[in-house]
Structure 1
């Protein structure tokens, strides 16, 4: 009788773990659950709290079926990671004040390190209205750059890349005005490394941006009315009206910069929204998330866990948090505090999290041990990948990140932990260098950048 009871206890415990129980820090998931859907989900999962003084825009994956300009011509997994690595190297070089340049590992071309990361690595887009009357513009969302821009007419096929929407034509807008040269706005643009002197005989302020992947945009720094939602506009929004674009960009209309420098949308609207914004990246490409400007009131922050935000001296763009620990399967990995001294930059455009050497080595070992039941798959892109062929369900350990102040967040399983059956982390470099928290780890979390209060908030299951 006792032996039968023991067998029952063992079998019941196995059933609990293998069918979704997380008592021991593991979650069982169908092997198909992380595969992107081919059709856009018609059900919105946006879960903003009531009473928030914000404006919210739908946010979708650039290459997913929900994108306004969805294309079946999508980059391969290897190409996505190559672009992400180029961006990450650029960002970490800027953050480390390595302003002498770095090299793209694929093309061995010197990357200018003073103007943003790889723009073609950006994966999420929002749709806004620009001008009067408002013209829809599909813009890449980027927390790693500041100046927003769109392609503008006139622009021929050799100077602009193809996009699905008509080019924005400033001559058809009653509210468009170029920023005059020799104004404070133009001088500030130059001071922040986005200026390109005077154009049109010295009357207009020029801008120029060179990104880490070789992409470039140049044109006229301009004022225009920006429509974020029906009835919600930003008058006199400063942006780049681009007449000369180069590089591997295509399909989208421009970019919206959400960094911390004065040119960003966040800072330009700080008098209204307090310099705060948040977003939720959906679990899969076939679903929608949101981008919101503004922070919840003090009465509506109960769902958030906050940690301190810091900034990098002389680099206003980036938002930095301090990682203090990592848990795998409910157990803290053995990593000294010195392993996280470089800080972690939160970035919407880097795909895979870049973790410092000591922390990554410990995480990799703990995750592989927890996944020992499944065969490792040789992969040239990431070093911890699995062959789940023949498995209808797999048991994946939870991964939890702990930040300064004791704030702990559980990453979504499996979509915030695995990317195409690979651990969505890789080694970034020495412990005293900055790391980057990529967009895979951020999935389903509302990430609130509350610069006015010097903090970052995380809210689980927000989209």
Structure 2
């Protein structure tokens, strides 16, 4: 039976670590080294112009992907692979085109390079593969399964095929064929297993279930595929028994690398923060387990608590609504009553004329005085309140952007359809060290100067 996926974006983050060596010792660690692709045509000639271009493209991408959010029921996957030691991982991420960031891994034996996009809102690791026919254009050569001595196609009665979650699934020639929707694109393929090699200075290899597939429509900026890190059943986290990870996102327009930590290194107490560490539970959705939900109960602008009913922010018994964290969506999304209250408060609080023209998909923009940038504008913090008196205070730069010169725009939009969740996107999380303790279902965060970690 066909299912629908709650995929909400592909604003993506690219970890660049090419490994083409033989399998290392069992206790090797992941080590990713990332550098900005400054030759990308998506970046302008000047830092200021590229900042505007980056923000505009990100807003368009976020809105298109959010419009495709659909709910899906999930099962549980049993039988994780043996844990891989990544506690000493040295991981950083940096922008890769307007769609995010990517990681180059070695696939197969011997390893073939594949550039995959990191996605916290999906669980399947997949790469384009010559086995399934013509593929979309990509930077690296397409993975050739015939050249890998460790490649194996999974049959329809395998646990990953039976218990995994896909938009559509069929049994073709005893192979587990799937189709997945990712916002504005679709990927198809067959489930398989192979050896994946990670690292630059330290290498580690692991046998993983993945999708040997192709991009059926849409684009991922000539990357090869996607690496899903959601809590879903086929996630690399589940397969490698990784119980926690953290990241600290530098402002996207700064083009600086951002650290990502796994295992024991994912500990906010090990790093300097600029504010206190707060911890809240990761909620269980009664229908699916593909996203990271948090108990948001209210919103304030400065000291003014907005008139938003708490039940408007809660997860409903049918699995709709709630609030999810997403490192790949640029803009935040709020359900209609919350968005309307925030928009009204912002229009009252920002002492600037409302723009009479729109900028891409931004819902509300103000005209800046001639020759003035957004850095000169005073704005109260946007405060997200969570159950248990925890709160996340967002400074101006975490909920406003300047997508074109002279235009100050609210980086928050109304959820695209009834039942869609609220989304705390990557702009809201910038300069915030966040930790996902998947094993204990807890989420911790603290304001941090991320480029100092």
User: Helix, strand or coil: the match of 2:208?
Assistant: strand
Alignment-derived partner of residue 70 in structure 1: 40
Q: Aligned match of 1:225 in 196, 202, 216?
A: 196
Alignment-derived partner of residue 355 in structure 2: 376
Do the aligned partners of 1:122 and 1:350 also contact (CA within 8 Å) in 2? no
Work out the CA distance in 1 between the residues paired with 2:115 and 2:122: 17
How do 1:106-145 and structure 2 match up within 5 A? 122-145=99-122
Cα deviation, residue 243, structure 1: 4.8
Do the aligned partners of 2:324 and 2:424 also contact (CA within 8 Å) in 1? yes
Q: Aligned match of 2:372 in 373, 382, 391?
A: 391
Work out the CA distance in 2 between the residues paired with 1:317 and 1:456: 15
Q: Aligned match of 1:347 in 326, 345, 349?
A: 326
Point out the more displaced range, 348-357 or 422-431.
422-431
Query: Per the alignment, do residues 256 and 364 of structure 1 end up closer, same or farther by CA in structure 2, a change over 3 Å counting?
Result: same
Do the aligned partners of 2:228 and 2:236 also contact (CA within 8 Å) in 1? yes
Alignment-derived partner of residue 291 in structure 2: 318
Cα deviation, residue 443, structure 1: 1.8
Query: Per the alignment, do residues 323 and 57 of structure 1 end up closer, same or farther by CA in structure 2, a change over 3 Å counting?
Result: farther
Cα deviation, residue 430, structure 1: 8.3
Aligned pair 1:456/2:443, yes or no? yes
Work out the CA distance in 2 between the residues paired with 1:134 and 1:411: 43
Q: Aligned match of 1:196 in 162, 167, 170?
A: 170
Alignment-derived partner of residue 219 in structure 2: 248
User: Helix, strand or coil: the match of 2:279?
Assistant: strand
Alignment-derived partner of residue 280 in structure 1: 248
Alignment-derived partner of residue 364 in structure 1: 343
Q: Aligned match of 1:173 in 133, 148, 152?
A: 148
User: Helix, strand or coil: the match of 1:215?
Assistant: strand
Alignment-derived partner of residue 231 in structure 2: 260
Cα deviation, residue 255, structure 1: 0.4
Do the aligned partners of 1:196 and 1:205 also contact (CA within 8 Å) in 2? yes
Query: Per the alignment, do residues 188 and 166 of structure 1 end up closer, same or farther by CA in structure 2, a change over 3 Å counting?
Result: same
Deviations 1:270-295 (A, max 9, x none): 2xx22x22233320242221333335
User: Helix, strand or coil: the match of 2:355?
Assistant: coil
Which runs of 5 or more structure 1 residues have no equivalent in the other structure? 1-52, 61-65, 98-119
Cα deviation, residue 442, structure 1: 1.7
Query: Per the alignment, do residues 192 and 376 of structure 1 end up closer, same or farther by CA in structure 2, a change over 3 Å counting?
Result: closer
User: Helix, strand or coil: the match of 1:317?
Assistant: coil
Deviations 1:56-114 (A, max 9, x none): 64567xxxxx13883338988666444422322333x31799xxxxxxxxxxxxxxxxx
Work out the CA distance in 2 between the residues paired with 1:293 and 1:332: 36
Do the aligned partners of 1:360 and 1:427 also contact (CA within 8 Å) in 2? yes
Do the aligned partners of 1:218 and 1:245 also contact (CA within 8 Å) in 2? no
Alignment-derived partner of residue 302 in structure 2: 329
Alignment-derived partner of residue 90 in structure 2: none
User: Helix, strand or coil: the match of 1:90?
Assistant: coil
The aligned length equals: 374
Work out the CA distance in 2 between the residues paired with 1:444 and 1:252: 27
Do the aligned partners of 1:377 and 1:384 also contact (CA within 8 Å) in 2? no
Alignment-derived partner of residue 289 in structure 1: 258
Alignment-derived partner of residue 17 in structure 2: none
